[in-house]
């Protein structure tokens, strides 16, 4: 799944509120100089720490993001910036929003905004932060159009940056990108090694657990994947990411825990807002959960799952045109598109359960299902097979009764030889 964050009101407001509520560090106690030491020059007055804006200042931006209006959200963040120009978390949120929009649309104005924030990060941010942010941008652009050449170039840049020495959080981020590149190549074992290395560098971080969950899920190690993902979701920021909630539902379904999976999907659906990309993640999870349900034993559950799959196909057809230009969703879009023919085949599978029920007249069945004459042909075939089976069963039952009557007559004649024939 793409690493680009799906910004929603919950993620934005929660992350900013948490930072705004942190206490300022206390001043270090002064220590008197030892006897005989020369007097030190008067120390300069300590710099005033940046003042965080009030959490409610972000509400308008959060509401705009819920409506899918990134431009209006940026306008509101500009207003907050006027009151708190040096607050680091505000710049981090502006940078994330600009990065997401650059990867989604590539529009020049968003790239200019991102460059402005990266310049601020180079001046005011911690060591290596700007370099990591630029590598994240390079990785996102590679994900939009994957190619072996760009993968090799990016891997060389990552190795050079890590070898140069970085703070733990920055190194952890770059090692996670290394794991993502390995996962993209299909070398899952190497990806797991990179993610474990990221966790070793920064043991308190939650994101390596999320990456490990994705890799272990590829190996069908669902229990271990679920364990790592649930550790990751203890982090409030990750818990508000739609695509991780979607993965959570799928992992639950793979262990036949369908009720919790449906509850997670319902929560994820509420988090999507008006973002068609976030909605596509949830629909993809619904597809995989319904597919897992189809293996259930009872006919009622199977019919319900088939109807769910038909709904998924219709939602794919609705959402795919809306995300056609979203480079950050390229892999997800391709997976959904490849699924449509197989989902269309489900349009006639309900005939196996009820010959009187024709496939629904929906966009999926019209575009990918069999032609209407095939419905009638299939219905006639199934009805004929059922009639033949019923006739054979009735004939077998008559023969069985005749045989039982014959045996009873013979037994009676043996026990009563003098009795007159009946």
The per-residue pLDDT for range 272-293, each reduced to its tens digit, is: 887 888 899 999 999 999 998 8
Q: Which of 335, 299, 315 is nearest to 1 (CA)?
A: 335
Specify if 386 maps to a domain.
yes
pLDDT at 11: 31
Specify if 418 maps to a domain.
yes
Q: Which two tokens stand for residue 137?
A: 């941008």
Q: 8 by DSSP, 3-state: which?
A: coil
pLDDT at 39: 35
pLDDT at 253: 93
Specify if 202 maps to a domain.
no
When pLDDT is averaged across residues 155-183 and rounded to a whole number, the result is 90
Considering only residues 260 and 12, tell me which one the structure prediction assigns the higher pLDDT.
260
The per-residue pLDDT for range 59-82, each reduced to its tens digit, is: 878 788 777 788 888 888 888 888
Q: pLDDT band for 20, please (50, 70, 90 cuts).
A: very low
Alpha helices in 84-187 (DSSP H): 88-105, 108-124, 129-144, 148-163, 168-185
Is residue 29 pLDDT above 70, yes or no? no
Is residue 171 pLDDT above 80, yes or no? yes
Considering only residues 380 and 406, tell me which one the structure prediction assigns the higher pLDDT.
406
When pLDDT is averaged across residues 320-341 and rounded to a whole number, the result is 87
pLDDT at 216: 95
- Residues sharing a CB contact under 8 Å with residue 251, sequence separation 6 or more, in sequence order: 213, 217, 222, 225, 226, 229
pLDDT at 45: 41
What is the full DSSP assignment across 71-112? HHHHHHHHHHHHH-TT-HHHHHHHHHHHHHHHHHH--HHHHH
Is residue 230 pLDDT above 80, yes or no? yes
pLDDT at 82: 81
pLDDT at 285: 94
Percentage of the residues of the chain whose pLDDT score is greater than 90: 27
Specify if 90 maps to a domain.
no
Return the DSSP state at 113: H
Contact 145, 122 (CB under 8 A): no
Considering only residues 348 and 420, tell me which one the structure prediction assigns the higher pLDDT.
348
Is residue 34 pLDDT above 90, yes or no? no
Is residue 372 pLDDT above 90, yes or no? no
When pLDDT is averaged across residues 390-413 and rounded to a whole number, the result is 82
Number of structural domains in the chain: 1
Report long-range pairs for 230-239 (Cβ below 8 Å, ≥24 apart): 231/206, 232/206, 232/207, 234/206, 235/206, 235/207, 236/14, 236/15, 236/18, 237/11, 237/14, 237/15, 238/206, 238/207, 238/210
Is residue 219 pLDDT above 50, yes or no? yes
Considering only residues 22 and 113, tell me which one the structure prediction assigns the higher pLDDT.
113
Is residue 420 pLDDT above 50, yes or no? yes
Q: pLDDT band for 378, please (50, 70, 90 cuts).
A: low
Specify if 288 maps to a domain.
no
Residue range of the domain that includes 393: 375-422
Helix orientation angle between 299-319 and 276-293, rounded to the nearest 10 degrees: 160
Return the DSSP state at 26: P
- Tell me which range, 42-56, 114-128, 218-232, is most confidently predicted by mean pLDDT: 218-232
Specify if 355 maps to a domain.
no
Considering only residues 296 and 175, tell me which one the structure prediction assigns the higher pLDDT.
175
pLDDT at 9: 31
Q: pLDDT band for 327, please (50, 70, 90 cuts).
A: confident
pTM to 2 decimal places: 0.67
Q: What is the mean pLDDT of the chain?
A: 78
Give CA separation, 131 vs 47, 134, 174, 204, 313, in Å: 26, 5, 10, 22, 42
Specify if 398 maps to a domain.
yes
Q: Which two tokens stand for residue 388?
A: 């033949």
- Tell me which range, 42-56, 235-249, 327-341, is most confidently predicted by mean pLDDT: 235-249
Specify if 392 maps to a domain.
yes
* Cα Dmax for the chain: 141
Is residue 88 pLDDT above 50, yes or no? yes
């Amino acid at each position: 799944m793409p690493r680009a964050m799906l910004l929603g009101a919950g993620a934005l407001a929660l992350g900013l509120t948490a930072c705004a509520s942190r206490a300022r560090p206390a001043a270090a106690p002064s220590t008197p100089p030892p006897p005989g030491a020369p007097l030190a020059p008067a120390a300069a007055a300590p710099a005033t720490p940046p003042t965080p804006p009030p959490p409610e200042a972000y509400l308008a931006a959060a509401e705009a993001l819920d409506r899918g209006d990134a431009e209006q959200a940026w306008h509101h963040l500009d207003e907050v910036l006027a009151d708190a120009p040096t607050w680091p978390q505000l710049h981090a949120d502006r940078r994330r929003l600009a990065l997401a929009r650059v990867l989604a649309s590539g529009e020049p104005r968003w790239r200019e905004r991102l460059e402005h924030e990266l310049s601020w990060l180079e001046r005011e941010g911690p060591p290596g932060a700007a370099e990591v942010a630029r590598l994240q941008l390079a990785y996102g652009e590679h994900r939009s159009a994957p190619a072996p050449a760009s993968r090799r170039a990016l891997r060389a840049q990552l190795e050079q940056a890590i070898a140069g020495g970085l703070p733990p959080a920055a190194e952890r981020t770059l090692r996670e990108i290394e794991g993502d590149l390995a996962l993209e190549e299909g070398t899952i074992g190497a990806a797991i090694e990179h993610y474990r290395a990221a966790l070793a560098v920064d043991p308190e971080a939650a994101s390596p657990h999320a990456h490990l969950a994705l890799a272990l899920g590829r190996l069908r190690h669902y229990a271990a994947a679920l364990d790592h993902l649930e550790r990751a979701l203890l982090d409030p920021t990750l818990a508000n990411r739609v695509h991780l909630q979607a993965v959570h539902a799928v992992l639950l379904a793979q262990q036949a825990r369908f009720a919790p999976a449906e509850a997670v999907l319902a929560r994820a659906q509420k988090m999507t807002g008006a973002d068609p990309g976030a909605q596509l993640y949830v629909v993809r999870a619904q597809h995989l959960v319904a597919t897992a349900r189809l293996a259930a034993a009872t006919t009622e559950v199977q019919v319900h799952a088939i109807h769910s799959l038909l709904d998924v196909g219709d939602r794919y057809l609705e959402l795919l045109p809306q995300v056609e230009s979203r480079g950050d969703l390229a892999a997800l879009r391709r997976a959904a598109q490849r699924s449509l023919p197989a989902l269309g085949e489900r349009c006639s599978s309900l005939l196996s359960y009820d010959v009187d029920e024709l496939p629904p007249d929906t966009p999926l069945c019209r575009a990918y299902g069999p032609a209407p004459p095939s419905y009638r042909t299939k219905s006639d075939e199934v009805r004929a097979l059922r009639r033949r089976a019923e006739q054979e069963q009735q004939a077998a039952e008559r023969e069985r009764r005749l045989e039982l009557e014959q045996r009873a007559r013979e037994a009676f004649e043996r026990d009563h030889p003098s009795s007159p024939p009946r």
